[in-house]
């Protein structure tokens, strides 16, 4: 591995401080096998399971070695704000599962979204995004990026190519969207969005949190950068907040529009990222420049939990999808339910796109409207026993939420509707418990609402 000279306890030699990209992969494993075996390949007498390297820093014997770390000539671990062997195992596995060249773990999904934009967009520049977004991302784009001088235009993801293109400006640097809009549950028309991105010469950045690399691999559908809230299905057990950015390595940053990547960085003695790192320019810059300066770093323990969660991702996602589909079908038949939205149901407008982009299943989240509106919805949520009222999705435990009064309450009613939230909407994240138990709990709660 990368530290052959370090013997003895040997923990530091397990994996490098950074995700080094997937070119070292010799097997063409499927995503299920990568979920278990990816990222970390122990050698003789090394721990079978990725260790938690709970250390802020790493010891070196000579000044030249240390200087080479600071000059980015060497990717050995240095300081846990910018890299750590436990993160590296998780990053490497995510890059392998998504089919990218490298990844960067972050302290939250929000940090991943923020860095994915700031890495290529500065004050005075512009982002175009699908308007159907997770509430936190909407708020980042609507409130905080504009304060930093970055303007964001929200477009209807069902608009025509021509209309989406009409929102682009010379200074537009990113096209952003979610695989499955949260909580609208609209599946992205990847073909259309990637065609727009290609024509406008900007990267397509996809939030694949609901998709997961098991159900959907956006790089196969034209995305350039993928981000995740690892807090959701990747962890899967509601233990840790974190995020990750994965780079496909395919975007041409030297098209004249990304000086951040092609012009000298004075904070590294005039280093040019594209020149020095080729197709890993974006993901290495995000780490060595933004993570260094902004410090949105995950704890080694949390990345251990994400690694651990990934080992069962494919098995959990199968059950999440099966259970969600069954719950959606039963809800559709219930007299107290006005409407059900689950992209795996033939009645959902995104059903055809699920067949194309998420053939293994439409993930574990569904929404429905209850007769009696907001008040009945409130009574429903207070009456469930197995299904807990929490601010979360993607947990093995089923959970329920009323977005209009919680996650999306900071948005105006107009903004709520634009991001797919109606006042009567109840969001259910279907867990992997026995599906009949879940349905029985819903039935008894509906009887009380
Ligand atoms: C939760 C979530 C985020 C934000 O992630 P955190 O880990 O909570 O910061 C971003 N996008 C989507 C789709 C989410 O569900």
Mutate to test the pocket of ligand 1, among 136, 183, 210 (most ligand atoms within 8 A of CB): 136
Which atom, in ligand 1's list, is nearest to the CA of 210? Answer: 13
How is residue 305 annotated by DSSP? H
User: Rounded to whole angstroms, how far apart are CA atoms 419 and 376?
Assistant: 22
Q: How far apart are CA 391 and CA 281, in angstroms?
A: 36
Report how far ligand 1's centroid is from the alpha carbon of 324 (Å): 20
Decide if pLDDT at 413 tops 60. Answer: yes
pLDDT at 5: 32
List residues bridging with 271 in a β-sheet: 265
In angstroms, rounded to a whole number, what is the distance separating the alpha carbons of residues 285 and 291? 9
In what helix (H) or strand (E) does residue 366 lie, and over which residues does it extend?
Answer: strand 365-370
Tell me: pLDDT of 422 over 60.
Answer: yes
Residues of the chain with pLDDT > 70: what percent?
94
Give the Å distance between the CA of 225 and the centre of ligand 1.
16
Task: Check if 380 has its Cβ closer than 6 Å to any atom of ligand 1.
Answer: no
Please tell me the CATH code under which domain 3-120+203-310 is placed.
Answer: 3.40.640.10
pLDDT reported for residue 407: 75
The residue to mutate among 107, 108, 109, having the most atoms of ligand 1 within 8 angstroms of its beta carbon, is 109
What pLDDT score does 17 carry? Answer: 53
Q: Are 394 and 228 in contact (CB under 8 A)?
A: no
- Tell me, what's the pLDDT at 70? 86
- Ligand 1 centroid – CA 229 distance (Å): 5
Say how many Å lie between the CA of residue 235 and the centre of ligand 1. Answer: 12
DSSP annotation string for 226-270:
EEEETTTTTT-SS----EEEEE-S-S-TTTTT-HHHHS-BGGGTT
Asked whether 229 lines ligand 1 (CB < 6 A), one says yes
How far apart CA 279 and CA 247 sit, in angstroms, is 9
Q: Say what the pLDDT of residue 27 is.
A: 61
Is residue 109 lining ligand 1, measured as CB closer than 6 Å?
yes
Structure tokens that stand for 364 in this block: 């574990």
Ligand 1 pocket test target in 131, 132, 134 with most atoms within 8 Å of CB: 134
Q: In this structure, which residue's CA is closest to atom 4 in ligand 1?
A: 109
Residue 179: per-residue pLDDT: 98
Residue recorded with tokens 């050698």: 43
Q: Does the pLDDT at position 387 exceed 80?
A: yes
Give the start-to-end residue ranges of the domains of the chain: 3-120+203-310, 315-447
Average pLDDT over residues 163-176: 98
pLDDT digits (tens, 9 = 90+) for 54-75: 999 999 999 999 999 988 988 8
User: Which token pair is 205?
Assistant: 């950045």
Residue 154's DSSP bridge partners are 129
393 CA: nearest ligand 1 atom: 15
How does residue 2 score in pLDDT terms, banded at 50, 70 and 90?
Answer: very low
**121 or 26: which carries more pLDDT confidence?**
121
Least confident segment among 7-11, 17-21, 152-156, 326-330: 7-11
Evaluate the CA torsion angle 40, 43, 48, 50 in order and state its sign: negative
Name the pLDDT band for 23 (thresholds 50, 70, 90): very low
| Residue 419 or 379, more confident | 379
Q: What is the pLDDT of residues 122-139, one digit of tens each?
A: 999 999 999 989 889 999
- Is the pLDDT assigned to residue 420 strictly greater than 80? no
Q: How far apart are CA 34 and CA 36, in angstroms?
A: 5
pLDDT for position 6: 28
DSSP assignment of 131-172 equals S---HHHHHIIIIIHHHTT-EEEEE-TTS-HHHHHHT--TTE
pLDDT tens by residue, 263-289: 999 999 999 999 999 999 999 999 999
Segment 309-339, tens digit of pLDDT: 999 999 999 999 999 999 999 999 999 999 9
Q: How far is CA 47 from each of CA 41, 61, 78, 371, rounded to the nearest angstrom?
A: 10, 25, 21, 55
The finding on whether 134 has its CB within 6 A of some atom of ligand 1 is yes
Q: How confident is the model at residue 449 (pLDDT cuts 50, 70, 90)?
A: confident
Distance from residue 329's CA to the centre of ligand 1 (Å): 27
Q: Kindly state if the Cβ of 241 falls inside 6 Å of ligand 1.
A: yes
- Quick check: CB of 136 below 6 Å from ligand 1? yes
> What's the CA angle centered on 78, arms 72 and 80, to 5 degrees?
120
How close is the Cα of 103 to the center of ligand 1, in Å? 17
Residue 18, pLDDT score: 54
Query: Pick the residue with more confidence: 405 or 327?
Result: 327
% of the chain with per-residue pLDDT over 90: 82
Q: Return mean pLDDT, the chain.
A: 92
Fold category of 315-447 in CATH: 3.90.1150
Query: Worst-scoring range by mean pLDDT, 85-89, 231-235, 370-374?
Result: 370-374
Q: What is the pTM of this model?
A: 0.94
pLDDT for 49 equals 95
Provide mean pLDDT across the span 97-105.
97
pLDDT at residue 406 tops 90: no
Give 216-259 pLDDT, tens digit per residue.
999 999 999 999 999 999 999 999 999 999 999 999 999 999 99
């Amino acid at each position: 591995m990368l530290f052959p000279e370090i013997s003895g306890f040997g923990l530091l030699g397990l994996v490098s401080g950074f995700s080094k990209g997937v070119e070292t992969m010799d097997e063409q494993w499927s995503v299920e096998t990568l979920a278990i075996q990816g990222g970390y390949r122990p050698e003789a007498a090394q721990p079978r399971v990725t260790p938690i390297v709970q250390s802020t820093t790493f010891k070196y014997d000579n000044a030249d070695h240390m200087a080479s770390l600071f000059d980015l000539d060497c990717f050995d671990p240095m300081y846990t704000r910018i890299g750590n062997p436990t993160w590296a195992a998780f990053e490497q596995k995510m890059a392998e599962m998504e089919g990218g060249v490298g990844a960067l773990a972050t302290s939250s999904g929000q940090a991943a979204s923020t860095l994915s934009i700031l890495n290529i967009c500065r004050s005075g520049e512009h982002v175009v995004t699908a308007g159907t977004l997770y509430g936190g991302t909407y708020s980042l784009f609507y409130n905080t990026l504009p304060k930093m001088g970055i303007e964001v235009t929200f477009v209807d993801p069902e608009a025509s190519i021509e209309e989406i293109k009409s929102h682009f400006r010379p200074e537009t640097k990113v096209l952003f969207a979610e695989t499955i809009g949260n909580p609208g549950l609209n599946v992205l028309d990847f073909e259309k969005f990637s065609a727009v991105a290609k024509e406008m010469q900007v990267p397509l950045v996809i939030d694949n949190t609901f998709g997961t690399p098991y159900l959907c691999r956006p790089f196969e559908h034209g995305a350039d950068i993928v981000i995740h809230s690892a807090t959701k299905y990747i962890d899967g057990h509601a233990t840790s907040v974190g995020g990750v950015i994965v780079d496909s390595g395919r975007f041409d940053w030297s098209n004249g529009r990304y000086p951040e990547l092609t012009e000298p960085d004075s904070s590294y003695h005039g280093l040019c990222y594209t020149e020095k790192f080729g197709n890993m320019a974006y993901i290495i810059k995000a780490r060595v420049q933004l993570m260094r300066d902004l410090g949105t770093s995950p704890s080694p323990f949390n990345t251990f939990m994400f690694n651990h969660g990934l080992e069962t991702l494919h098995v959990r996602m199968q059950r999440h999808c099966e259970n969600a589909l069954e719950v959606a079908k039963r809800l559709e038949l219930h007299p107290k339910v006005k409407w059900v939205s689950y992209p795996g149901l033939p009645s959902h407008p995104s059903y055809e796109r699920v067949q194309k982009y998420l053939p293994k299943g439409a993930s574990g989240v569904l929404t429905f409207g209850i007769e009696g509106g907001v008040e009945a919805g409130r009574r429903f949520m207070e009456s469930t026993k197995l299904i807990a009222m929490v601010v979360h999705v993607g947990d093995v435990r089923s959970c329920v939420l009323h977005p209009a009064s919680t996650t999306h309450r900071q948005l105006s009613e107009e903004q709520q509707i634009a991001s797919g939230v109606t006042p009567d909407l109840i969001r259910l994240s279907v867990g992997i418990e026995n599906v009949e138990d879940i349905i029985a709990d819903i039935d008894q709660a509906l009887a009380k609402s």
